Chains A and B, each alone.
Chain A
């Protein structure tokens, strides 16, 4: 094999690999773009407050037959993603057009923090309350019936035996 022929072969191989790599890159970018569009679209609602339709579904999940909003909104979203705009810019574009109601979850600021923190505050507050209640109950003096099981005629020995048997056979 001559040197020139070897060089040609290498050139073809490199060119082939470059085309393959570019192709793969394009596919990957396309996939990333689609994933990114889906991710951003998941933070937006379709057709909020517009007179034509108020379906309020997640933009990328809108299944409203003949929805007058979703096609246009998705085009805007895809254009923003294709142009490489940051997520905040794309989202802001929708907020400017439709207001904050277009966001699928409340922004984490101002009064909206109540919605975000109420469940965790309730959970931790409630947990503390339950622990407090249990501790208080445990400190209460125990009510012990006077004498052998007052009035029932059953001796403590019999009751203890019955309890032991019940405990054993009910696996507790």
Chain B
């Protein structure tokens, strides 16, 4: 099966090269058969990548320990669930997994648009094939996951060998979220290839209008949704498994996932300016280019070993390939832009500083500044060592100091933006729209102060959260009120109707509400507490209002590891609340041991208990307990963000028939004006505004 997999990937590479070279000829000659055959070569490439990936999974499930990658990342006792995850647990497999996800996107794109947009699709196909060639080069010639296990033999020959069992999967990855976090994150990274291909293709083809934006909007949202879910799942995994009491350490790999998310978020906002007003065309094209470049840059950072990270893959020369690819993309984008920049001229202008357009501009600025802050902080140790020769570290305290004010500014704009009108907002409208949300925000701040949240940034954050929540609620309320007045339905039904009529706008607001919940959770960090104590059975420790009683300790053998477990009784006001079982896992194969945190989670706070090992002085087991306020809001907010993204992806249930109704009005009703032709609202008009 390893030969089959290798063969499938080689064939995929050949098909991708044909799709790329043939695609260029097809664009030049416009020969319909050539266009069709290159598109089919693109589809064949994807199918062959699927086959290659399934072959590798088959090798894991059949415990084929003659393949080096299977030996390194699996063993016989590994459960089926984690054999799936073993695919992306190492360098070679994760690169094949990248190609696999990319192939799913490309296959879907080529199939969906196979008979549409004939002018644009050959360009898009060439760009997609170019990206696939790069990854298939890595899969075939640089980091093949199908290498056989071999030992050096006589006369320089290699003897193929097979091991009885494998080394097993890294213990830290044997956790359910690790089966869904990387696919989500990689789906985000790879998904941004589609808007990139459409943007570059449209620029090269000088494709008229904003159609490429309409075509890629949903693809961008899908990629963004996966990226958001991936980031949050990763944070939850770090929180629940690593046992340091936090969920975000500003590690270079975490930062790498955040960078394209920030620019992707900026794009999702600024794209509305182009759709509504025909503005920001250059900016949008470059935002898509930069987002894709940051996806590749993040991968370069993770795999080159250029920055130290607890997550990074083993150091290898593969980073040079990524660096080369980044340079190629940059050159192609620059050349395409300078040759066709006249095509990106803006059609409109801004009417007022106080308008929805301006708020989008500032929103984009802040997201970009945040991106620059994270990127520069991540790379600064490298530049510092190059320039001054001194090694420095840029850790979490730096990123927190720099990014907290930026995040709060962004939160403020999240509240302000929806209250501003397109084109121009009058003073009267400002007063009317801002009065209640501002009052609610201030009341929220006072309530937070009274509840004891008295750290400066946390208080500001909670005040802004109340303000933004009020603005979003008022948007839903006003819309639902109109529908209720017309239909007589309940507020809830009217709200749902409103959302389904303009899913993009109200889905967006749901996403904003999710972000508010996440910020509420983040505000709790300033009040984290922790206590560490050497314990023996029968002894107790106190944290906040909780008393922890170590009842006993035991060992629980599982299929692939043995769990050393603490049985901790949690009491509150001398009443038993629950039992918690923090554990340390010793794996049967040669893998580092890991922790499994026990968490009692409420909306107010998390009681987070870690079995921190044995004290070197007393040889007694150590409990490290944390009291982390408001953490649950983050995970809840993440679910709301995903829900909002899904809603925004739904088609509108019915059009907002405002302009259609006018067009259908009889000539007499509009003062005898004869219409030469029926009024056709643009797609943007039909969808209402966002």
With known contacts A61-B244, A118-B376, A56–B393 Cβ distance under 8 A: yes
Name which of A63, A104, A126 has the most chain B CB atoms within 10 A of its CB. Answer: A63
A115 partner, pick from B246, B350, B380, beta carbons under 8 A? B380
Q: Which chain B residues border A169 with CB–CB below 8 Å?
A: 482, 656, 658
A101 partner, pick from B393, B594, B656, beta carbons under 8 A? B393
Which residue of chain B lies nearest to A61 when distances are taken between CB atoms in the complex?
B244
B502 to chain A, nearest CB (A): 9
Q: Which chain B residues border A127 with CB–CB below 8 Å?
A: 362, 365
Of residues 627 through 685 on chain B, the ones whose CB sits less than 8 Å from some CB of chain A are 656, 658-659, 661-662, 670-671, 673, 675-677, 679, 685
Q: Please list 15 pairs of residues, one from A and one from B, whose beta carbons are closer than 8 Å in the complex, sorted by A's number.
A: A49-B391, A57-B249, A65-B593, A100-B392, A101-B381, A104-B393, A106-B394, A111-B388, A119-B406, A133-B361, A137-B349, A152-B677, A153-B675, A158-B679, A171-B475
Q: Is B33 an interface residue (CB 8 A)?
A: no
Q: Is A89 an interface residue (CB 8 A)?
A: no
| Contact call A170/B595, Cβ cutoff below 8 A | no
Q: Is A58 an interface residue (CB 8 A)?
A: yes
With known contacts A48-B393, A63-B242, A65-B592, A134–B361 Cβ distance under 8 A: yes
Q: Is A20 an interface residue (CB 8 A)?
A: no
Q: Which chain B residues border A130 with CB–CB below 8 Å?
A: 358, 361-362, 365
| Contact call A157/B673, Cβ cutoff below 8 A | yes
With known contacts A57-B244, A112-B392, A123-B406, A43–B369 Cβ distance under 8 A: no
Q: When each residue 42-74 of chain A gets 1 if its CB lies under 8 Å from chain B and 0 otherwise, what string results? A: 110100110000111110011101100001000
Q: Which chain A residues border B392 with CB–CB below 8 Å?
A: 100-101, 103, 106-107, 112
| Contact call A165/B662, Cβ cutoff below 8 A | yes
| Contact call B397/A63, Cβ cutoff below 8 A | no
B422 partner, pick from A107, A114, A172, beta carbons under 8 A? A172
Q: Is A23 an interface residue (CB 8 A)?
A: no
| Contact call B670/A161, Cβ cutoff below 8 A | yes
Give the B-binding residues of A (Cβ under 8 A): 42-43, 45, 48-49, 54-58, 61-63, 65-66, 71, 99-107, 110-112, 114-116, 118-119, 122-123, 126-127, 130-131, 133-135, 137-138, 140, 142, 152-155, 157-158, 161-162, 165-167, 169-172
| Contact call B369/A45, Cβ cutoff below 8 A | no
| Contact call B393/A103, Cβ cutoff below 8 A | yes
Q: When each residue 233-253 of chain B gets 1 if its CB lies under 8 Å from chain A and 0 otherwise, what string results? A: 000000000111110010000
Given contacts A45-B393, A123-B369, 18 further A-B contacts (CB under 8 A): A61-B245, A63-B242, A63-B244, A100-B390, A102-B393, A118-B372, A118-B373, A119-B376, A123-B365, A130-B362, A134-B358, A138-B353, A152-B677, A153-B676, A158-B662, A170-B656, A170-B688, A172-B356
| Contact call A58/B396, Cβ cutoff below 8 A | yes
| Contact call A138/B421, Cβ cutoff below 8 A | no
A98 to chain B, nearest CB (A): 10
Q: Which chain B residues border A112 with CB–CB below 8 Å?
A: 380, 384, 392
A161 to chain B, nearest CB (A): 7
Q: Is B366 an interface residue (CB 8 A)?
A: yes
Complex Cα spacing A167 to B685, Å: 11
Q: Which chain B residues border A170 with CB–CB below 8 Å?
A: 656, 658, 688-689
Smallest CB-CB A-B distances: 6 pairs? A153-B676, A104-B395, A119-B373, A105-B398, A63-B244, A172-B421
B353 to chain A, nearest CB (A): 6
| Contact call B310/A56, Cβ cutoff below 8 A | yes
Q: Which chain B residues border A58 with CB–CB below 8 Å?
A: 395-397
Complex Cα spacing A65 to B489, Å: 59
Q: Which chain B residues border A61 with CB–CB below 8 Å?
A: 244-246
Q: Is B326 an interface residue (CB 8 A)?
A: no
Q: When each residue 121-150 of chain B gets 1 if its CB lies under 8 Å from chain A and 0 otherwise, what string results? A: 000000000000000000000000000000
Complex Cα spacing A43 to B398, Å: 10
Q: Which chain B residues border A135 with CB–CB below 8 Å?
A: 353
Q: Is B613 an interface residue (CB 8 A)?
A: yes
Complex Cα spacing A62 to B394, Å: 16
Q: Which chain A residues border B369 with CB–CB below 8 Å?
A: 119, 122-123, 126
Complex Cα spacing A102 to B392, Å: 8
With known contacts A57-B244, A63-B243, A134-B358, A122–B372 Cβ distance under 8 A: yes
Which residue of chain A lies nearest to B394 when distances are taken between CB atoms in the complex?
A106
Name which of B402, B592, B593 has the most chain A CB atoms within 10 A of its CB. Answer: B402
Q: Which chain A residues border B390 with CB–CB below 8 Å?
A: 99-100
Q: Which chain A residues border B246 with CB–CB below 8 Å?
A: 61
Complex Cα spacing A7 to B475, Å: 75
Which residue of chain A lies nearest to B395 when distances are taken between CB atoms in the complex?
A104
Complex Cα spacing A169 to B655, Å: 13
Complex Cα spacing A42 to B661, Å: 64
Q: Is B610 an interface residue (CB 8 A)?
A: yes
Which residue of chain A lies nearest to B688 when distances are taken between CB atoms in the complex?
A170
Complex Cα spacing A126 to B406, Å: 13
Q: Which chain A residues border B376 with CB–CB below 8 Å?
A: 114-115, 118-119
| Contact call B393/A154, Cβ cutoff below 8 A | no
With known contacts A127-B365, A170-B658, A171-B479, A65–B584 Cβ distance under 8 A: yes
